[in-house]
Amino acid sequence: MYSMEDCIFCKIVKGEIPCYKIYEDQDFLGFLDIKPVNPGQSLMIPKVHYRWVDDVPNFGEYFEAARKAGLRTKKALSPTAVCYVTLGFAVPHAHIRIIPRFNEDGHGGEGLNFRLYKEITKERMAEIAELIRNAD
């Protein structure tokens, strides 16, 4: 059985696990995904543990935080588009995947293959996070 004490995202919020932070406000935290399908893919999570995205009481503010991170990603990385995905099965803590799409990114036209993640060095991850954070 899964418990909140085992939740990797709750540990990230508490600072017990490091992350490449791209966004933070009072209620939400955005950070780069360590297994991105494209460089700059991030996750927006509520700082309080909720299982599903629609469990988050300030749902509109949650999506507005994701939008802000997506717009910064667009400005920083110049993708063709940014997708917002809320599947929620990989980690049982509400999360919105913010995924930049690029021409010839290996995923084809409309779909994404979440098994085709890209290996990105820690140094490059830190650079990407800084670019997104500073893209106001």
Query: d(Cα 134, Cα 136) in Å, to the nearest integer?
Result: 6
Give the active site residue among 49, 93, 95, 107.
Answer: 95
93-131 pLDDT tens trace: 999 999 999 988 877 766 776 777 889 999 999 999 999
Rg (CA), the chain: 14
Could you tell me the CATH number of the domain that includes residue 84? 3.30.428.10
Domains contained in the chain, number: 1
Give pTM, 2 decimals: 0.93
Kindly state the DSSP code that residue 92 receives in the 8-state scheme.
S
Kindly state the DSSP code that residue 103 receives in the 8-state scheme.
T
Q: Which two tokens stand for residue 115?
A: 């098994």
Domain that holds residue 118: 4-133
Active site residue 49: no
CB proximity list for 127: less than 8 A, separation 6 or greater: none
Given a cut of 60, whether residue 56 has pLDDT beyond it is yes
